Amino acid sequence: MDTDYIKRYGKLPAVADAIQLKETFRENEKLQDAKEALLKMPLSSRDVEDAALRLDKFAPLIMRLFPETACMKGQIESPLVEIKSFKRNYGNNVPGRFFIKQDSELQVAGSVKARGGIYEVLKHTEDLALSAGLIDREDDYAKLASTRCREFFSRHTIQVGSTGNLGLSIGISAAALGYRTIIHMSADAKQWKKDLLRKKGAEVREYETDYLEAVKQGREDSAKSKNSYFIDDENSKDLFLGYAVAAKRLKAQLEEKGIYTDAEHPLFVYIPCGVGGAPGGITFGLKTLFDNNVHCFFTEPVRSCCMLIGMATGLHNQVSVQDFGIDGKTYADGLAVSRPSGFVGELMEPLLSGIFTISDERLDSILRDLYTSEGIYIEPSACAAFAPVVCGREQLKGYIEKHVHGQKDGITHVFWATGGSLVPECLRKELLGKAYKELGQ
């Protein structure tokens, strides 16, 4: 706890709520015109396009390594589904339609991390293989699955620090290519995630400490060893761009449903936030496509609301939730991060509409209600996406009144379900316990 910080910032309304562990909403008063803001950024829509093209180039290799992606021709993408029954329960006075973006069903890694994590592994692989002369740019990248290439990758290491899902995404994809992979897991990481990684051939190092410490150890270990590459969740532009590709894919899915985003038909997107890379990348991508017609919100657990604290104080990664006497512990393991990415926080300053927080106690009932009403299973962290309609409804309605002029029924709400499909059946049953009983199963 840092009394100076509390003295200086503790009276800001959202920070005051955060300190008292109260659910809150902070509207970002630094939001700017999207086009102008994007012009000043170090990354552009061209970088996102480049990442999208690279993923297309790798699709034949992905299909070879992960046959479950064959039906999508090697593209890793998730469904967008309307949730009408859920809306009847939770969205009564919220104008517009509700959709869930099921990254919980993304192939290979079962979470949003399949976007950024796998992209960065592929980007690194391309760099290595090009400089070693294993491929040239015109080649079919499926060549990278050959014995010769695997032998080459086995002499290289990829490392990452993770609360679980990033480790799964990088561990599974890097091990499939033949790399030696070392995953530094924080104390929050669930046992089943560690077990699964070991089964896939990754080496798991466990820490008693939190995510930041696991990242720090990983970074240090990697710097000391030869041929080792560290994927840096806090600062990586490649991870960020991998996430950003989601925007273009979402746009196509909306249009397939006849939804064209404009001023009369704005898009509202809610994404759970840990260190910020995934929701930040997706927000960046969406802003490059829809500028002021998309309103992006992050959602965080009350006890690890690091991005809210970072953005409200403007101090980003210089402050942690512990500085404000908040313990950083949450049942939403994927979001158990105490200090936000400074790189992402700064990029989000002119782009993000706001941040909602939610108490851990609500996550299980959202999990069950979504399952009973829609038959969709997501993990507890992903349930945080629903904060705006579960505990922030009045604030959300206030925001809509203020920012959406005229007709409000044209709003499309997208709740980003960030993980779930890899949760083992026995744990699922435990979490769903009550729901199963209600359904008589």
Ligand X SMILES: *Cc1c(COP(=O)(O)O)cnc(C)c1O
Residues that bind ligand X (CB under 6 A): 111-113, 165, 272-279, 334-335, 337, 379, 381-382, 418-419
Residue closer to ligand X (CB basis): 181 or 293: 181
Residue closer to ligand X (CB basis): 261 or 283: 283
Residue closer to ligand X (CB basis): 96 or 279: 279
From the CB of 215, what's the least distance to ligand X, in Å?
Answer: 11
Give the CA count within 13 Å in the CB-facing half-sphere of 38.
18
Edge-to-edge strand list for the sheet holding 25-27: 25-27, 354-358, 294-301, 267-272, 412-417, 97-102, 80-82
Residue closer to ligand X (CB basis): 96 or 380: 380
Residue closer to ligand X (CB basis): 218 or 419: 419
From the CB of 317, what's the least distance to ligand X, in Å?
Answer: 13
- Amino acid type, 151: E
Cα–Cα–Cα angle for 422, 332, 411, rounded to 5 degrees: 90
Residue closer to ligand X (CB basis): 396 or 417: 417
CB atoms within 10 A of CB 329: 15
Q: Which residue is nearest to ligand X (CB)?
A: 274
Separation of alpha carbons 347 and 345, rounded Å = 6
Sequence-distant (6+) residues with CB within 8 A of 115 are 76, 103, 106, 242, 243, 245, 246, 278, 281
From the CB of 389, what's the least distance to ligand X, in Å?
Answer: 18
Alpha helices in 257-362 (DSSP H): 277-290, 306-313, 342-348
Specify the DSSP class assigned to residue 323.
G
In sequence order, what DSSP letters do the residues of 371-401 get, joined into one string?
A: HHHH-----HHHHGGGHHHHT-HHHHHHHHH
Residue closer to ligand X (CB basis): 129 or 315: 315
From the CB of 385, what's the least distance to ligand X, in Å?
Answer: 8
Residue closer to ligand X (CB basis): 178 or 345: 345
Q: How far apart are the first and last CA of the chain?
A: 48
Separation of alpha carbons 381 and 365, rounded Å = 12
Specify the DSSP class assigned to residue 81.
E
Residue closer to ligand X (CB basis): 76 or 144: 76
From the CB of 336, what's the least distance to ligand X, in Å?
Answer: 9
From the CB of 416, what's the least distance to ligand X, in Å?
Answer: 8
From the CB of 173, what's the least distance to ligand X, in Å?
Answer: 15
From the CB of 307, what's the least distance to ligand X, in Å?
Answer: 8
From the CB of 140, what's the least distance to ligand X, in Å?
Answer: 32
Query: Which among 203, 193, 74, 77 is positioned nearest to 145, based on CA atoms?
Result: 74
Query: Which among 157, 80, 81, 161 is positioned nearest to 113, based on CA atoms?
Result: 161
Query: Which among 369, 383, 332 is positioned nearest to 188, based on CA atoms?
Result: 332
Residues in the chain: 441
Separation of alpha carbons 437 and 441, rounded Å = 6
* Cα dihedral 86→90→91→92 (10° resolution): 110
From the CB of 337, what's the least distance to ligand X, in Å?
Answer: 6
Residue closer to ligand X (CB basis): 178 or 334: 334
